[in-house]
Amino acid sequence: MLLMAAVREIPWLAHAILPLAVFPYLSSLPFNSCRHAGVSGSLAALPRAPAYSGRQSARSSRAAAAPAAGRNPAAGAGPGRSVQRTDRPPAAPSGAAAPMDANLRLWRAEGPSFWQRLLLWADVLDPLHLLKSADEIRKARLLLESSEKTQSEPIQNHQTKQALLLSLASVHPDTGRIIPVFFRPPAFLPVTLPLVISSSLQLQAKQIFLCQFAFHAYTTGFTLLNGNCTTKDEENSLHQKQILFGVGAVSYAALLGAFPFVFMDRYTLKSPITHLIVKKLLPAPLFGLMSAFTVVAVRSPEFENGIEVMDRSGKVLGVSQKAGEKAVKETALSRGILFGTTFFLPAALMYFVERANTARTPRALASVRMLLIMAVLAGMLPASFGMFPQCGEIKREELEAEILSSTEETVLFYNRGI
């Protein structure tokens, strides 16, 4: 009823929502690469890239047939000579369990505690990783494939560590594909910072709606491209569901974020109490709540259909709805805390700045506000990403009965997503 009332009262809201100019672009991105690792998506395979690590690499290497003799590089090498291919890792033996992806192995080895995850995310979020080319990313993945690090061994070699950081910043652990540059984790801060600053300004309702619409549209695309991509889609409709849920969640979040200002302007409520509630107290919890809501909405197929869980060796044991529910819940909580704190803390600090009269002009106050927002967002981003383990753990007794009967391990693992 609130949504209908707001659109009826302000015709420009309907005109702003109907075009949804941002989502034709989002629909062209590889959302349906997040179906199942074995289902082809709209994101094409990397050109000239070998099969990467993880479940896909092992499955494809086991299923691939031996090359023809005429195409074998060793065929023309002559007697006593052999040519060894170095553009791909050695195939797993037939019947062996698919190894866990290098990204998830690193999170298990280097990120058991919050402090370790915080420091690791601080390195991964370095914007300089965005300048690396696709060839450099592929070489980093090949280096990781050729290394013989165990799951519990800390990374000591500098070159291997840099390759792992680049892999964490650029490659999805479920599909082994390179994430589009604007939706990689290092791009999150540079893209969202101006959107958060513009959304926090005391503007008119229409401007606030457009700013929050752009913000939630980007974070929705980021969530889809960095979530868990092992969800099975038996009806082949996951792509359509994600687009539909994304459009609805972004529109609802932006409209609800602007509605208090619409209500105050419509009924000319200018009292100090109303101003305090609408412009000081309400934006922070509402912005954080809507950020968490969009995560739950666009990743709802994960707890409806389930995500893959694996043992310590990387062997997939089944699909669990409870693991998907836990992954989405943890991601939504961390996202809500991130942006709720980013809105609340600068506003609270600005109260003391105004009381101290250190910034006496409106321009100086605006500059201080922007600096505070930038500092809080930059500090909270690695903390929120590292709040929960990236390689999530779930106890055996919490899983479904069909998974319980397939393993005796007490703890199973899954990719939580970002």
pLDDT tens readout for residues 228-267: 988 776 655 677 788 888 899 999 999 998 888 887 777 6
Provide the b/e sequence for 266-300 (b: ≥16 CB within 10 Å). eeeeeeeeeeeebeeeebbebbbbbbbbbbbbbbb
Look at residue 144 in the predicted model and tell me its pLDDT.
84
Tell me what the pLDDT averaged over the chain comes to.
76
Q: Residue 270 contacts by C-beta under 8 Å, 6 or more apart in sequence?
A: 264
**389 and 404 Cβ atoms separated by less than 8 Å:** no
Q: How far apart are CA 308 and CA 228, in angstroms?
A: 9
Q: Which range of residues forms the domain containing residue 204? A: 2-25+99-415
**298 and 385 Cβ atoms separated by less than 8 Å:** no
Residue 289 resides in a domain = yes
Tell me the percentage of the chain whose pLDDT exceeds 70: 72
Residue 80 resides in a domain = no
Look at residue 183 in the predicted model and tell me its pLDDT.
95
For residue 284, give Cα distances in angstroms to 165, 197, 256, 262. 33, 13, 13, 17
Look at residue 230 in the predicted model and tell me its pLDDT.
83
Q: Residue 67 contacts by C-beta under 8 Å, 6 or more apart in sequence?
A: none
The pair of structure tokens assigned to 395 is 């106890």
Look at residue 168 in the predicted model and tell me its pLDDT.
93
Find the largest Cα–Cα distance for the chain. Answer: 92
Look at residue 108 in the predicted model and tell me its pLDDT.
85
Mean pLDDT of the region 125-133: 94
For residue 15, give Cα distances in angstroms to 7, 12, 21, 311. 9, 5, 11, 50
Residue 54 resides in a domain = no
Look at residue 154 in the predicted model and tell me its pLDDT.
52
* Residue positions counted in the chain: 418
Q: Assess whether pLDDT exceeds 60 at residue 77.
A: no
Instruction: Select the highest-mean-pLDDT range: 38-47, 72-81, 194-203, 264-273.
Output: 194-203
Residue 44 resides in a domain = no
Q: Assess whether pLDDT exceeds 90 at residue 185.
A: yes
| Neighbour tally for 382: CB within 10 Å | 20
Which H helix or E strand runs over 158? Answer: helix 158-170
Q: What is the dihedral of CA 223, 226, 227, 231, to 10 degrees?
A: 130
The pair of structure tokens assigned to 85 is 């291919």
Look at residue 269 in the predicted model and tell me its pLDDT.
63
Q: How far apart are CA 133 and CA 140, in angstroms?
A: 11
Quote the Cα angle for 26-28-34, to 5°: 80
**Number of compact structural domains in the chain:** 1
Q: Assess whether pLDDT exceeds 70 at residue 187.
A: yes
List the single range of 56-70, 132-146, 391-405 with lowest mean pLDDT.
56-70
Residue 206 resides in a domain = yes
Per-residue pLDDT tens over the stretch 266-278: 766 677 777 777 7
Residue 79 resides in a domain = no
Which H helix or E strand runs over 6? Answer: helix 2-9
Look at residue 145 in the predicted model and tell me its pLDDT.
79
Q: Which amino acid is at 107?
A: W
Q: Which amino acid is at 367?
A: S
Look at residue 80 in the predicted model and tell me its pLDDT.
37
More reliable by pLDDT, 333 or 13? 333
Look at residue 93 in the predicted model and tell me its pLDDT.
42
Per-residue pLDDT tens over the stretch 356-392: 877 778 888 889 999 999 999 999 999 999 999 999 9
Q: Residue 240 contacts by C-beta under 8 Å, 6 or more apart in sequence?
A: none
Tell me the percentage of the chain whose pLDDT exceeds 90: 39
Mean pLDDT of the region 322-327: 93
Look at residue 279 in the predicted model and tell me its pLDDT.
78
Which of 41, 12, 16, 62 is closest to 251 using CA atoms? 16
Q: Assess whether pLDDT exceeds 70 at residue 201.
A: yes
Look at residue 353 in the predicted model and tell me its pLDDT.
87
What single DSSP character describes residue 201? S
Q: How far apart are CA 308 and CA 314, in angstroms?
A: 11
H, E, C per residue of 298-313? HCHHHHHHCEEEECCC
Residue 36 resides in a domain = no
| Neighbour tally for 370: CB within 10 Å | 17
DSSP per position, 36-93: -TTS--SSPPPTTPPP-SSHHHHHHHHHPPPPPGGG-TTTTS-TT------SSPPPPP
Q: How far apart are CA 245 and CA 251, in angstroms?
A: 10
Residue 239 resides in a domain = yes
Predicted TM-score (pTM) of the model is 0.75
